[in-house]
Amino acid sequence: MLVLTIDQRHSRSSPDLVGELIDWIDGACEALRPFERTAGDEVQGVLPTAESAVQLALDIVKSGEWSVGIGVGAVEEPLPAQTRAGRGEAFERARDAVERAKTSSGRVAVTGPPLETERLEAELQMIAAVNLRRTKTSEEAGQMIRSGMTQQEVAVKLGISQQAVSSRLSSGLWYETQRLTESAIRALEELDGTPGGRQRQPAGRREANQ
């Protein structure tokens, strides 16, 4: 099972953003159990797939406002209707992971079976660190590619040349981080015991020959 625990950074000196985050998550993905405030500025939810867990974690830490922990492991079943009532390894590990995420450069961490998450965590932290350093123009172009647009379509949308779009994607290491994200998803599927169980459309892969 995959549990995400999310903690707001600098919450003592910043407005409470938990309500906004929960509303955004509700519109961004389907959770196995909904994200809820568990304590103070902490949010927790249960996700159905490795892909949703990885993508959601990376999208959340990109704002710089949150630390995210991913917990992998068994849970007591059946799952209760409310996430905050959940019990088991995955919940405990998610809380451990978010504490470690607070002091990592990418603000994301993974806790799972011993000795099996170190590389996955390093991959996610590398991706998150690159995402945080990406310029707004590079991020804008990349998100359009992620939605399924071609470089030519992005160029028309932004009113710039395809060469300029390619330059923005290159400077932001867009394709490199997307391939690394796909690798992280596969690794998390294996940790969760569901390898190859999802069909994904690799973001931006249709651009490879352009």
pLDDT single digits (tens) 29-54? 999 999 999 988 999 999 999 999 99
| Mean pLDDT of all residues in 95-100 | 96
CA distance linking residue 34 with residue 79, whole number of Å? 11
pLDDT at 202: 37
Q: What is the pLDDT of residue 153?
A: 97
Output DSSP code: residue 75. Answer: B
Confidence (pLDDT) at 10? 86
pLDDT at 90 over 50: yes
- Window from 54-68, 85-99, 114-128 with minimum mean pLDDT: 114-128
Domain topology for 2-132+174-207 = Alpha-Beta Plaits (3.30.70)
- pLDDT per residue over 133-149, tens digit each? 999 999 999 999 999 99
Mean pLDDT of 75-98: 95
How far apart are the C-alpha atoms of 10 and 41, rounded to whole Å? 10
Token pair for 9: 């950074």
- The confidence band for 11, taking pLDDT boundaries of 50, 70 and 90, is confident
CA end-to-end distance (rounded Å), the chain = 39
What's the angle, vertex CA 61, arms to CA 204 and CA 75, rounded to 5? 100
Q: What is the pLDDT of residue 100?
A: 96
Q: Is the pLDDT of residue 203 over 60?
A: no
Q: What is the pLDDT confidence band of residue 150, given thresholds at 50, 70 and 90?
A: very high
Q: What is the mean pLDDT of the chain?
A: 90
Name residue, tokens 């409310």: 82
pLDDT range class, residue 116, cuts 50, 70, 90? confident
- Segments making up each domain of the chain, as ranges: 2-132+174-207, 135-171
For 39, the enclosing helix (H) or strand (E) is strand 33-39
Give the span between the Cα atoms of 15 and 29, in whole angstroms. 24
